[in-house]
Structure 1
Amino acid sequence: MKKITLLLVFLVSLTAWSQDDAWVYFNAKSNEQVYYDSPLSMLSQRALDRRFKQNIALDFKDIPINPSYISQVKSVDGITVLAKSKWLNALHIRGSVSTINSLKSFGFVSNVHFADKSLNITAKSVNTSKSKIESKISNSRVNFAYGTSDNQIKMLKGDALHQQNYTGSGLIIAVLDAGFPGVNTVQPFQRLRDNNKILGGYDFVTRNANFYAGNNHGTYVLSSMGGYKENALVGTAPDASYYLFITEDNSQENPVEESYWVEAAEKADSLGVDIINTSLGYLGDHTNPAYNHTYEDMTGDATFISKGANIAFSRGMIVVASAGNDGTESEPHIGSPADAFSVLAVGAVTANGSKASFSSIGPSYDGRVKPDVMAQGQSTVLSDENGNIIAASGTSFSGPIMAGMVACLWQAFPNKSNQEIKDMIVNSADKFSTPSPQYGYGIPDFNLALGLQFPDMEEDVMGAIHLNPNPTASLVKVSFPQSVQGVNVVFYSVSGNKVLDYKNIVSDAPISLESLESGTYIYKLEFNSSIKTGKIIKL
């Protein structure tokens, strides 16, 4: 993991430390029905089409923050508003502790949460931490000259999708990163420019429309998906379209960067983006150590950015996040948003498929399999801001390589939901039956994922098969229609060990889990040559 570090040593004054970061949450919104009646005032037609296709209704989170709440908070002397989130109905603010706490007197304020957890004496905290950059069309058959990028694509069998003309066309990827210098000028991005595949962007840090600026890390990341230089570099989704958002402040490590990220994700949602790629991670080593996260915070929904990532998924997008580069550190675990329940967290392997030593490990603190999958992140072939073809290492690059392949697979199955596409990828991975904290479910096979399909009738059946109750203290049952026969259910520990195996079960017959210790387990239902997976909590 390549950390964003300051190149100059400087002293932080005591005055600076007197200002604290916090989120102020509101308890209501205004004119809800007006927005529901006029959805194009909140979301683009493409965003609404994505919702309709996945049967996702508009809800309270889509409604903008009441402008009067923002203006009243801004009017308080000593309060600076740095970012806002309609999804979480909150503002990111900065000020003295006493002034921030005074906001609780407003009737429309439900809670105030400080980024410094020690200041949340009487309330449950929303934790925030340091930010890290995660790095150490035609109808004819497509045969790209991959050149030196050959291995990172063929490892995932991405060439098989490309050869069937699944190159990301029609999909939109938002890249949330630290900057994109050179993307508007150098040769490896010319194909994107010539085909109008850069749809726009924004710098949320400086509130500036010039997104072809900032740190070159975003340029590297984009090149692994959209770069193209024949016989040298081909990205995994060379025909996808892209929005480029700067959310990372290279001058410091501050919790407001998580709020910038959520703002950018909300913008991506409104524009109709399909996939969000983020090669940023938040765990420790913040400029102000009081803002650090710990492994204990990696529970899927504790941090502000992970909350936002989960909401992004609930809007129908897929969020792909780099797992982190702390594998050799004293705290080797994944950060956020890679820990989020719905995020596809990507670790790094070498060219031969072995885990890269720097790649952060799982599980999440609450015991879920993380990372989810792996891709090449050591000696990854990229373009720099000068157009040079280079090699660099980090989960920063395994993540976007995977995000590009997600776009290609979704192009092949445009009517699938985000959950279905994510499941297809995980189910195709080489360690799906034996996940581990080092590899997660392993390296996906996208050619295999193309074949993990079911007849329409069986897709309906998939939705009619349920394992419940969940959580459970002792017994579960699997409910399925009479048309399904020969159902087997297998339970695995989060480390990938098979712990229970039941063959040819009867619908709604009790299945005992009493022999298992309390914790989280993975179940796999096998039926009619099909597979359905999930997690279950044993109390």
Structure 2
Amino acid sequence: MKKVILILFLTLSTALSAQQDAWIYFTDKPNAAGYLANPLSMLTQRSLDRRAAQNIALDVKDVPISQDYIDTVSSTPGVTVYARSKWLNAVHVRGTVADIQSLLDYTFVSAIDFADDTLDANGNRPAMAHRPASFLKAQETMVNLPYGNSQNQVAMLQGNQLHVDDYTGAGKVIAVLDAGFPGVDVLDAFSRLRNNNHILGGYDFVNRVPDFYTSNNHGTAVLSTMGAYVQDQIVGTAPDADYYLFITESNVDENPLEESLWVEAAEEADRLGADIITTSLGYFHFVNPAYNYDYSDMNGTKAFISRGADIAFTRGIVVVASAGNSGGSATDPHISVPADAFNVLAVGAVNATEQHAVFSSIGPSADGRVKPDVVAQGEQAIVVNSSGDIQGANGTSFSAPIIAGLTACLWQALPNKTNAEIVSLIRQSADHYNSPDAMFGYGIPDFAAAVTAAGIEDEVLPLYAVYPNPVKETLSIKTENFSVPAVIVLYNATGQLVFKQQINAPLSQIDLQQLAQGIYLYKISADNVQATGRIIKQ
């Protein structure tokens, strides 16, 4: 008995003295009012425009985390800050248990959450636990093909119909969060992106350096499913979209920091005005088993990364994530995080004949929601590797960006839709929508049908003609279908009400000369009828 007690004591002592990962949550943001009064100090105009188009007001989550708080934590002996999240008002730190717990002495620290849940027994953790896990690489191996092209993986989703109609992602910005992008700066397959300035920039969050054309070639293959263009061999699903390339996955070690880096990169994507985030990183198990997830953790609220992904959605972004590649596992066949998040479009994989790929992780989420949401070709998907070879590859890592690219094309075709409406249209167009299951989710989407369905939906909606747009001085509002009076209100990029006027005739002119230049959301209301849209004031 003494020997057992001694072993337990030594194990506990080792854990307490070893370096641990934890999230430190802060109580407030002291400078929130100043930032909210000057939104361009924290977000780009494109980000503000995206929100205005979807009637999304700014809130305290948009405000940067307090630098004073970060500096104080960084100066604490034995504690190192590795990442920060303004959305969650937290920093990711590493240190011994005692050193990390000492941070509770600061009045601005509200809670501590250790990556190892067993260390949270002191009651200082927040209500939700947040444990990260490992990057699923097992099914990512490239398979050489003598020749191939990407027609099947695009046509399966009726994406070719969108391309024929000239919806190729132009004007939409996709942020790719992955493990590295070597070769994208030199390979011929990406020359169309480079020559047309479609690569807007990027960053290596792992090494904190601006060079993102490095590290693991996984991201190169992922990007190729959307942006590569080699005539008669491969055409990505969004060849004319713009891209930001962010490295968040370490190739040296699997640790909780990667989850925090992902959220940090998602926040930067939001700041820069990205419309879509696509990520082919899935987390379930870690090198340190104390950090591992269980299936019961796949509930959309426990993981730091999943909560960050859902916040991204509230900013007006569509988030697309790989479901995971553990479908063939006898013990953990289910989806990984952040695919479990409530508003993430989780993508599973099928083969070229639309059969479930054995490696594709299955659902539902731990709390019973439909997951994956949809599926696309991920078995023998056609990709470009970092040597420029066009090959077949297996993994939900490729089905997800195939969907993300066509999401950009769909949104280009339906520019007045919100992110929630776009995601809903994708789900509803899928072939298993009326009978979703654990392998296919809602099934294989039909993006051409989604456009058609949106057109039918718009035809039956009450419409006001609002013109000209852009407008310089006088805005005209015409309606033939509804009684007046009605009321028009305008909101600026920060969600503030800046204009309100009653409409008393079927054709009315609104004087906007005093309104500053910019993009505004309008809302017209009459009885129980409501119409929304956006205008550009010149």
TM-score when scaled to structure 2?
0.80
The Cα offsets for residues 12-44 of structure 1, whole Å up to 9 and x where unpaired, read as xx7997000000000110121211111000000
The Cα offsets for residues 360-383 of structure 1, whole Å up to 9 and x where unpaired, read as 000000000000000000001000
Cα gap change, 1:455/1:87 in structure 2, threshold over 3 Å: closer, same or farther? same
2:130 equivalent to 1:127:
yes
2:100 matched residue in structure 1: 100
1:230 matched residue in structure 2: 231
2:394 equivalent to 1:393:
yes
For the 8 Å contact 1:132–1:280, the answer to whether it is kept is yes
Quick one: distance in 1 between partners of 2:204 and 2:186? 18
Q: Which structure 2 residues correspond to residues 10-25 of structure 1 after superposition, within 5 A?
A: 18-25=18-25
Quick one: distance in 1 between partners of 2:442 and 2:158? 16
The Cα offsets for residues 155-174 of structure 1, whole Å up to 9 and x where unpaired, read as 00000000000000000000
1:110 matched residue in structure 2: 110
Cα gap change, 1:457/1:352 in structure 2, threshold over 3 Å: closer, same or farther? closer
Return 5+ residue gaps in structure 2 as ranges: 1-13, 141-146, 464-538
| 1:199 Cα deviation after fit | 0.3
For the 8 Å contact 1:301–1:310, the answer to whether it is kept is no
1:65 matched residue in structure 2: 65
The Cα offsets for residues 202-242 of structure 1, whole Å up to 9 and x where unpaired, read as 00000000000000000000000000100001000000000
2:349 equivalent to 1:342:
no
Cα gap change, 1:80/1:352 in structure 2, threshold over 3 Å: closer, same or farther? same
2:456 equivalent to 1:442:
no
Quick one: distance in 2 between partners of 1:66 and 1:450? 44
1:42 matched residue in structure 2: 42
Please tell me the residue identity of whatever aligns with 1:261.
W
Please tell me the residue identity of whatever aligns with 1:328.
G
Q: Which structure 2 residues correspond to residues 74-473 of structure 1 after superposition, within 5 A?
A: 74-121=74-121, 122=123, 123=125, 124-133=127-136, 135-136=139-140, 148-284=149-285, 286-329=286-329, 330-453=331-454, 454-456=456-458, 458-459=460-461
Please tell me the residue identity of whatever aligns with 2:46.
R
For the 8 Å contact 1:23–1:92, the answer to whether it is kept is yes
Quick one: distance in 1 between partners of 2:22 and 2:308? 16
Cα gap change, 1:77/1:36 in structure 2, threshold over 3 Å: closer, same or farther? same
Quick one: distance in 2 between partners of 1:161 and 1:376? 18
Quick one: distance in 2 between partners of 1:209 and 1:455? 44
Identity, % of aligned positions: 57
- Structure 2 SS opposite 1:273: coil
- Structure 1 SS opposite 2:379: coil
Cα gap change, 1:428/1:19 in structure 2, threshold over 3 Å: closer, same or farther? same
For the 8 Å contact 2:132–2:304, the answer to whether it is kept is no
Please tell me the residue identity of whatever aligns with 1:319.
V
2:6 matched residue in structure 1: none
Q: Which structure 2 residues correspond to residues 444-523 of structure 1 after superposition, within 5 A?
A: 444-453=445-454, 454-456=456-458, 458-459=460-461
- Which contiguous aligned blocks of 4+ residues in structure 1 show a shift greater than 6 angstroms? 14-17
- Structure 2 SS opposite 1:351: coil
For the 8 Å contact 2:148–2:390, the answer to whether it is kept is no
| 1:127 Cα deviation after fit | 2.2
Cα gap change, 1:416/1:17 in structure 2, threshold over 3 Å: closer, same or farther? farther
Moved more, 391-400 or 125-134: 125-134
For the 8 Å contact 1:324–1:359, the answer to whether it is kept is yes
TM-score when scaled to structure 1?
0.80
For the 8 Å contact 1:133–1:396, the answer to whether it is kept is no
For the 8 Å contact 2:114–2:120, the answer to whether it is kept is yes
The Cα offsets for residues 79-133 of structure 1, whole Å up to 9 and x where unpaired, read as 0000000000000000000111111111111100000011110244522222314
Cα gap change, 1:16/1:167 in structure 2, threshold over 3 Å: closer, same or farther? farther
| 1:267 Cα deviation after fit | 0.1
| 1:415 Cα deviation after fit | 1.0
The Cα offsets for residues 64-92 of structure 1, whole Å up to 9 and x where unpaired, read as 11111011101100000000000000000
Moved more, 115-124 or 56-65: 115-124
For the 8 Å contact 1:382–1:389, the answer to whether it is kept is yes
In angstroms, what is the RMSD of aligned CA positions? 1.8
Larger Rg: 2
- Structure 1 SS opposite 2:321: strand
- Structure 2 SS opposite 1:132: coil
Moved more, 432-441 or 14-23: 14-23
Please tell me the residue identity of whatever aligns with 2:174.
I
The Cα offsets for residues 259-303 of structure 1, whole Å up to 9 and x where unpaired, read as 00000000000000000000001112x111111111111111210
Please tell me the residue identity of whatever aligns with 2:328.
T
- Structure 1 SS opposite 2:333: coil
Return 5+ residue gaps in structure 1 as ranges: 1-13, 137-145, 462-539
